[in-house]
Each structure stands twice: as C-alpha cells, then as structure tokens.
Structure 1
C-alpha cells in the first residue's frame, strides 16, 4: 500500500488507458456556397415575349396606298422609322378589310428588323393571355412581358368590349409604356370617340395621339393592286379583267383578295386564263349570304371529305394527312366565316391564334403550287356554299 502511495506521478499516468480519438466536426461550407432559400424554391418559367406571328406579306413594300391612304401610310412609316418620337399613341381605324392589320404588321416588321423588342397581338389574344396568367397565378410575369417592350401593337381593340379586367390591365400597361416613351400602336374598326363600350379614360388616351383612318382605295389603285398580285402569283391578268374585278368590289379589299385567290386556284387547276365571266361568277358566289356557315360546319364537311372524324381534325394528332386536312379547314374557316383567329383556334382544340395564322399561310402557299390540294379546297368550298 505504501509503495502504491509513493509511486511517482509519471508511472501512474503511464498506467492510464490511452484516450480514444475524437472525430473532427464537419467543416462549415464556404460563405459563397450557401444558397438563400428564396433562390432554391423553383419558380414558374416565364416566356420571353408573347407570340408575335406576323404575316410575311404584310410589309410596307406590299402596301399600295394610292391617294386616299397616302397620309396614313406616311404616318405609319414615320412611326416605324422613329418610334415614340412624334405619334404616340398611333391609332388606325377603318372598316373591315381595308388594310389596318397590314399597316400595323408592317410597322411591327420594320421595328423587329431594327432589333427593337416588338409585340404584335390581337386584343382577343391579349385577353386570353391575361386570363391564363390569372388562372396560373403569374400575373406579374404577364405584366413584365407586355411592359418590357419597345413597341406594343394591339389589333382589333374593339374586342375589349365588356372585358372590364382586361381594360383595367391594358390601361395600366398603356400608362407604363407611355411614361417610359415606348411606342404604342392600336387598330380598331371605329374612331376612338365611337368606342363607347370602352372606358372613357382609355378613349381619351387614344384620342390624345395621332388618329387616322384607312379607306377603300380608289379604282385605279385597286387595279394596280390586282396587277401586283397577278405578278406575284405568276399568272397573266388582262386589264379588262382587272378593271371588272376592281369595279365590282365596293366594300373592302379582303373581298377582292378572296375573289382573286379563287380565280388563281381555278386558273392553275384548269390551266386556263382569267376571264371576265370567271370573275363575274366568283364575285356572285362571294356575295352569297354566308351567315349560316359556322365553324363546326366547316370542320364537319372537311373531316368527311378526308374520311376522318371531326375529333381527329380538332384533336392533338399531327400525322401528315390530318395536319393537311386541319390546315385546309382552318383556311376555309377564316375565308368563309366571320370569326377571329383566336375563335378559330378555340374551335380546333384550344390552339393559339398564331398557329391558325401559320396554318392559313401554309395552306395558301400549298394551294398555289399543288393542283391536287387546290382541287380539294374547291370541292370542299363548293359543298359548304351549296348548304
């Protein structure tokens, strides 16, 4: 016992068990590697810009103003060359088929070519985009898309009738763009003062800019336009035929264009020249009442002609045969019914107005170079007009 008490301290320490190693604590991540919580939460992906599908033929070079539309044409070119400098907003109005959309899209083409952030959209599509943003809770992204542009062009503003929320949203969008000196172009079928179904504060802002109307071109200009169309289509058009067509068309250019396109299709299919009698027959057929034709009728007749169902035509299938039939149906819907591109898109399974416009343009190109497709269109059109 005495020896144990007198044992030196270093011997006592030597007899103690060795201490177990302690695991080191994990190193703290570098400050720069710590991602804030708000950046780790996924956010809905926003589109860069709303779709602005433009008609390739609606350019300044293809617009023949004549005397009556020389002023509005010059103003449109000034807006395109120097946006927001003088005419802001620029408001174009006029009857159906006189060239409002052509001028508005010509401005859009010119501004896009200069690298400006440009959005062209029909008012109905603007409304649909707003409704979708409300449904998906992405209104902030909607506002960012439409307000972060250099040029905003709204077509058919009269379609905002009875849409109070859309008018409210457009009013604030208008104010933001105008405040930051961004160009606004608006097209309508009536003068702003007659758009009584729109809020007074919107009408007053429209009237605060340059308001100009598009009119039906005079006879000589209509003849010149027909000759340009004939040259582009690669067909011969006698002056007497052009004078007859231009003289019979008294309402709008869309009627003249529709008559001319039908004559071109028949001439290329039958390999014949255009005659006054053919023009008379086409114009008489164009003047037949069309108010009984509906989108569903066009869809049903087109589907039966191709041996498919209406559901095939409006459904998601993208096989080549159904896709061509769908393009023909959309083309005829636009030609034979008084419905807008968004309305046609809705009838075809909720497709976008830009999809309908592309289908119509593709059908027009194919009809001009494919006699078989042209014959199909003539046959379906005849069945519809005979109803």
Structure 2
C-alpha cells in the first residue's frame, strides 16, 4: 500500500513540476508525501503550516484533478497534515515499540477481571432496565437502549452514549447486554472497558497473540465498550479498534459505546473513527432533575432495605445534585453512620452527615482559576498558551469566552480578575464574554450540555 501511495504521489509531483517554476516546486512541494489513502480519502503530509496553507489555497484543484485521473475509485476528499517524511518513517518503524510502551505506562491501572470467554462476558446482573430510573435527563438514552436491546445490529448501530461521571452510563450499557442475553441466550455479548480493550491489545502484540485477540473481539454478536474516550492519543489501539469496528459492523453485529464527552470532543481521535461513531445514534445523559433524583434515591433505599422519610429524601436530593454516584455515596454514608453509631436517621442527623460530606468535598475539591482554564482547554482540545494568547480565531476565542463565563459563574471571580487570568485582558472583555455565553446557554442545547460536562469535570477534579 505504501509503495502504491508513493507511486501515485510521484506521478502527481511529476505533472506539477512541469507547470511550476523550480523555486515554487521546491518551496511548496518538496518533502510532501501521502500519509493515508483509504475509502477515497487521502491525507497528504506536508513539512510545515506554510506548505499546508499554500497547497490548500493554490494547488488543491490541480492535485485533486491529477489524483482523480490516476485513481480507479472516486476521490471524496484530500486533506493536508503537517508531518515530515522523517517523522512519518520513524513513527511507522516505532509502532510496535510505542504499543509496548503503552503497556508499561498503563500496567499499574489494569483492572482484575475474569478471563474473557463464553461464560465470562463481563456483565453484572444487577444492571438491568427495571432498576434504571428514567427521567428527563436520560429518557432518550433509555428509549434508544431499549430499541437496541430488542433488535441488536438493526437499530442505532453504533449507539454512542455520553455524559458526565456517575450519571448511569455503565448501568444502561450493561442493561442492554443483560436484556439481550435474557431474550437471546445464544448470542455472545462482550462487555469491557476501553482500558481493558487497550491492555488486551497491548498484551497481544507483546506476546505475539494478535490472532487470539481478534478472535475475542471480532466474533461477539454484541460488543459493549465503556469509556471509549480512553482511546485518545493511542494510535496503535485506535488502528486495531478501527478494524474491529469494521469487522463487526459489516456483519451487522451491534456496537454500543459510552464516553464522558461527545465524539467530536475526544482529543486526537482519528477522523475515520469519528465518522463511524456518528453512523448510528449519539445520545447524551444529563444531570438528573429533582424528581428523578428523588425516584432514584427511593429505589436505592428499597434495594438496601433502608427506608427514609419523604422529607429526608427530599433534603438529600436538594443538596446532592451533581450525579447519581454522589447520591448513592451520601446514602451509604448515612447508612454507615446509623449502623456504626446506632443513631436513628432523623432529618437533623442526616443534615450533620451531609454537612461533613460537603465540608470534605470543598476542602479536597477546590479548583483554582488556572485548573479551570486547563480543564476547559483540554475539553476543547486547545493549548493553554492559545487560551492565554491574543488570537481571535473562533477555535480559540469561543473556548476562551466559555472559560470567562465559568470563572464568573463557578468561582465567582471579579471581571478584572478574569481578565488578568486570561492573559491580562480588559475587564470589559470578560463582561462581554459572560453576557454572550449566558445568552447562548439559554437557547443552545449543545452548548448547555458541553458546559454541564465541563462543570462535572470541575467538581470531580
């Protein structure tokens, strides 16, 4: 494949050289090459951003025409990526070393679990649709999950579920698997975290057992992967997941993925994976409203056989709003307080327990302005220096305005302080940004979800 790409690009360069001056050809086209050529989409490597811009603006039409004339398939897209020939070759030669290095880096985080096989599929029977409390924030996800469980491989494939920490993503993805197993026990359902997938792949490459890995991951009728954002920055793992995805999807096997952010917000995710994640349905889980939190807490009390008065449940849910995990954690703390100290769960005693949780959270979870800037920069896949810099490009200016909005809303910073934190800007700039984002949040559902996700990261920090 590389040889064919090289021959194709040499033909392109040969024709362009005939119509350009030697100076122009050397300046803009020397050290260019084809990085990728797949499904009619071609990525051309260029040595710097100047060449990238020039080829896009001046020579793109000619390059497209020449490549199309020499290709049997229709060329859908040609893009230009800054990457030197030397670096590209080094990357290709070092793929295996990189993968093995990833193994060492994440070895300490490998989670103990049973061996993958016909009987050990990673599902936990406690996660089912009956115990999943449906509310405004998750009704779309619940409906989509039900549809997938009824007709796996035929409806919403893949199903991509995203939302903040502790909102029920693991519950709903496992409920899909358990429901399919209940109705169709002959179907093979495999649930893993993305971290597990990554480490299995790394171990397979290290030990030369990739065939066994492929047999494990490319044969299930249903593949459920939790926390797919873990793929970010792992080129080798993304490559094998791409082929795993294709093998399953082409065989009408169901794929369900969860993430803490939407596909477009996953940093360094390859475009070909991004496009595949968008093939089916993308559904988000947002923070539960008060009624849903009350219903969830009542369900948890029933499960734990620990009844609480209605006014106590309402007090807890009014004070614990971020996610379901925190809600259950508070209930566990109340139960432990009752059992260990033999103190009845009265409203007054529950208030004391929640106060201790709140105080500990504030002491350990306080976020500085700089940390918030880092979190937003990471979320929008931009560099810190760009957030603090002077560029007015939309890809930098908009995240910068979101930072100003959050500094005001969450940390209660003054406008002069916000301006100072963002590279010494005038306080009126901070005021304008806060007003603009406040207005957009009212009507833009996508932005509202993004800001909620960022807030959840801030408070989970």
Does the pair score TM above 0.5?
yes
Secondary structure of the 2:257 match is strand
| 2:162 corresponds to | 93
Which of 76, 100, 103 lines up with 2:172 in the alignment?
103
Q: CA deviation at 1:196?
A: 2.9
How far apart are residue 49 of structure 1 and its match? Answer: 5.3
- Among 322, 328, 331, the alignment partner of 1:257 is 328
Q: Distance in 1 between matches of 2:238 and 2:128?
A: 29
8 Å Cα contact 1:259-1:279 kept in structure 2: no
Residue 229 of structure 1 corresponds to 300
> Could you list the per-position Cα deviations for residues 270-295 of structure 1 after superposition, in whole angstroms to 9, with x for gaps in the alignment?
44432333333333333424469xxx
Q: After superposition, what is the alpha-carbon deviation per residue over 1:81-133, rounded to whole angstroms, capped at 9, x for unaligned?
A: 11011210000000111111110011111122221100010000111111111
Unaligned runs of 5+ in 2: 1-114, 367-461
**CA shift for structure 1 position 47:** 5.8
Q: 1:85 to 1:251 in 2, by over 3 A?
A: same
Name stretches of at least 5 consecutive residues in structure 1 with no aligned partner: 1-45, 293-387
How far apart in 1 are the matches of 2:299 and 2:116?
A: 39
Closer, same or farther in 2 for the Cα pair 1:261/1:290, shift >3 Å?
same
CA contact (8 A) 1:88 1:209 kept: yes
Q: For residues 268 and 166 of structure 1, what CA distance do their matches in structure 2 show? A: 47
1:316-348 deviation line (CA, Å, top 9, x unaligned): xxxxxxxxxxxxxxxxxxxxxxxxxxxxxxxxx
* Contact 1:50-1:146 within 8 A present in 2 as well: no
Instruction: Measure, in 1, the Cα distance between the counterparts of 2:305 and 2:281.
Output: 39
1:73 to 130, 137, 142: 142
Distance 2:140 2:116 in 1: 37
1:151 counterpart residue number:
222
The alignment's C-alpha RMSD in Å is 2.0
Name the SS of the counterpart of 2:327 in structure 1. helix
Work out the CA distance in 2 between the residues paired with 1:290 and 1:52.
Answer: 37
Q: 1:192-211 maps to which residues of 2 (within 5 A)?
A: 192-211=263-282
Within 5 Å, give how 1:345-384 maps onto structure 2.
none
* Residue 63 (structure 1) aligns with: 132
2:241 maps to which residue? Answer: 170
- Alignment partner of 1:130 is 2:207: no
Shift of 1:51: 4.8
Is the 8 Å Cα contact of residues 233 and 267 (structure 2) preserved in structure 1?
A: no
What residue number does 1:240 align with?
A: 311
CA distance in 1, matches of 2:281, 2:116: 32
| 2:284 paired with 1:284 | no
**Residues 3-14 of structure 1 aligned to structure 2 (within 5 Å):** none
Distance 2:157 2:357 in 1: 39
Structure with more contact order per residue of length (Cα contacts < 8 Å, sep ≥ 6): 1
- Following superposition, the deviation at residue 268 of structure 1 comes to 2.7
How is 1:176-191 mapped onto 2 (pairs within 5 angstroms)?
A: 176-191=247-262
Cα distance change, pair 160–268 in 1 and its aligned pair in 2 (3 A): same
Quick check: 1:51–1:121 contact (8 Å CA) kept in 2?
Answer: no
Q: Is the 8 A contact 2:122 2:190 kept in 1?
A: no
> Structure 1 length normalisation: TM-score?
0.61
Equivalent residue for 1:214, pick from 262, 265, 285: 285
Does the Cα contact within 8 Å between 1:97 and 1:255 map onto a contact in 2? yes
Q: CA contact under 8 A between 2:264 and 2:274: conserved in structure 1?
A: yes
Residues 253-332 of structure 1 mapped to structure 2, 5 A cutoff: 253-287=324-358, 288=360, 289-290=363-364
Whole-Å separation in 1 of the counterparts to 2:122 and 2:355: 33
> How many angstroms apart in 2 are the aligned matches of 1:284 and 1:56?
34
Q: Please tell me whether the aligned partners of residues 58 and 105 of structure 1 are also in contact (alpha carbons under 8 angstroms).
A: yes
Counterparts of 1:47 and 1:225, CA distance in 2: 32
Using the TM superposition, give the Cα deviation of residue 176 of structure 1 relative to its aligned residue in structure 2, in angstroms. 0.5
